[in-house]
Structure 1
Amino acid sequence: RKIKRLVKELIFENAALCDQIALLQEKTLLLIDERNYLFKKLQQYQPIGEQELYRNSTPVIINDNRKALNKKKSEKIIVESSNISEVPKTAKTNKKPPSIRKKKIVKSIPLDTCGKPIFPIVLGDFTVHSLGEVCEKPDYHTEDLIYPVGYCSTRIYGSLKDPEKQCVYTCKVMDGGQAPRFEIVADTDLDVPLVSTSIDQCHSMLLSLINRCLGTEVVNTKGRGADFFGLSHPTIHHLIQASPGVRKCKGYIWTKFEVNPNYEYVADDTEASLSYNALLRSISFSKSHLESMIKHEQNVEYGEDNVTALNILLS
């Protein structure tokens, strides 16, 4: 009888250990999926580009009056003085380092007989219908970009009602007085435009509504308005810079462009905040992750019930 009882206990203990191993294996797979999911989210929060900082260091030259009388003005003087305990190696200057910009390559587009671009200009997921007119007011441009009044473009992206279905968004730059007004409106919600004095905030409002509709944070809400509007696209940037009135924009720094007929611009199809296809992939991944988490919770509850039942039997 003792041997039978011992064998019975070993069988139950072995079954309990097998269940625990199975649960741990499933938990490991879920953690791997969660790690990949978090890594994907981390990539979304990384900045688009890194800015290089240029610092000019100037050696400090201290004039010794006794030696300066016998030297020319253009000659550098080296001072040896025991009264000076500390000599700073570098000195800050008020002059800003010269701005260095990388030359951008653009592809030539069709022009009419007057040399003006033929609209609409189709560039991947977005289409430009009007370049607008350049305004010389300070808030209508930055060092990098110009916001022409009347600029209009359209882009295919996820709908606010159902982000998995595509719709057409119209992006406009309007005259707001001292500062421009940026507007994004979906063809499915023409009566509910998204308007802001900040182009990034306008884009961020759209992304927040997408997440709210899905009930979870599928896309990073950090605004990239210039990219969504198409203003930062090299071809559009080049055309706007060539527009009349740009030289009056005092705060704008000119960008060098090189026209190459054979150049093909590759759009970023991995950013869910800009690309409709990337948004669909992010939604699909988020759903699969949520389903795996629910399944994991159910398995944990099932495993705990089995262990409890075995403990009761063994006792």
Structure 2
Amino acid sequence: MDTEVIKTSKLFIKQNSKEHGYKKKLKLILRYKYMYFMLIPLLIWYLIFCYVPMYGITMAFQDFSMSKGFFHSPFVGLKHFKELFGEEDFWRAFWNTVIIAIYRILTQFPIPIVIALLLNEVRHRKFRKAVQTIIYLPHFISWVIVASIFITFFSPETGILAAIFKDGATDMLTNPAAFRPVLILTDIWKEAGFATVIYVAAMASINPEHYEAGVMDGAGRWSLVWNVTIPGIRNVILIMFILIIGKVLTWGFDQVYNFYNPMVYSTGDILDTYIFRTALGDNKFSFAAAAGLLKSVICAVLLIVSNRIVKAFGQEGIY
């Protein structure tokens, strides 16, 4: 009898706690209702431009024809995926994407952290802000303009440096071996400043008392960086790493498309440019949709795995 009473009491308490939780959430929603109203345009935008187009995934399983549309094109199952795995150009683009992505992770991820740590050690406020602004400005320049500037300098035929050096030493646009370093260096120049600002902002939120306690314990500058600054921004570093891993195969279409040419397909053609060229150049819409779907699935898996690994180490993930 006592056992039944205890079970009934626990059930009653659980139900009451759930009801209390729902009421609490409802009160918060009503309290911040205007904030939620501000989210409505964003939700509508996502619905129209992100979720409704997902119906186009069906194209990957059809022999899509623009005259027949989605509803009347014949269903072919996994036919295009089988053709995709046997396509040599697809595997070339896939491995180029993986290699370039690894180079980007090894450079684009740690370099902004290092720059932010160096800026955090600068005590002259105006100088620090000036440097921060200078390295941040290239982020707002489009890849079309960056590529145009680069081509103006390094074009093997009409470039400024080609007119100075006649031995072809500046041929970086049609040289497959030089194309990947060009991508990495221009990407660092353009985007490293943006990530640096994020890390600098995270460092500004670290409690100054932690540094004071370290100084009192006799810690030097390097010791403070290693034991106070880096642990203070660890969550931000891990979240940025998860986001980088999640977009590792979709990173750099604008850049590559504006820089590359048929001469460097062997080392510069990535999945996004391959899909774009296959869909619009060869009119193989279903084939390109199959490649895009496969790429998206791989990115989703990488995002989930990296997020779980971060959580396994006791840190906060992105969801």
Normalised-by-shorter TM-score class: under 0.3
Higher relative contact order (CA 8 A, sep 6+): 2
Which of the two has greater helix per residue?
2
TM-score (norm 1): 0.23
Larger Rg: 1
Which of the two has greater strand per residue?
1
TM-score (norm 2): 0.23
